[in-house]
Amino acid sequence: MRLTGDLGKLEISVLRRSNSETDDYWDGNWLESQIKIDVQGIHTLYGTNLRVDDLQRFYKSLTALQNDTTKESEFTTMEEGLYLHFQVESNGSVNCKGKANTDSGDSLEFKFQTDLATLDRFVGELETTLESYPLVGSLE
Within 10 angstroms of residue 125's Cβ, the number of other Cβ atoms is 15
Note the pLDDT of residue 85: 97
Confidence band for 100, pLDDT divided at 50, 70 and 90: very high
pLDDT at 112: 96
Is CATH 2.30.31.10 correct for 2-132? yes
CB atoms within 10 A of CB 37: 20
Please count the other Cβ atoms lying within 10 Å of the Cβ belonging to residue 116: 13
pLDDT band at residue 105 under the 50/70/90 scheme: confident
**Sequence spans of domains, the chain:** 2-132
- What are the tens digits of pLDDT across the range 26-58? 999 999 999 999 998 899 999 999 999 999 999
The band of 103, judged by pLDDT with boundaries at 50, 70 and 90, is confident
Report pLDDT digits (tens) over 117-137: 999 999 999 999 999 999 999
For 60, 70, 74, 95, the CA distances from 7, given in Å and listed in that order, are 26, 25, 20, 11
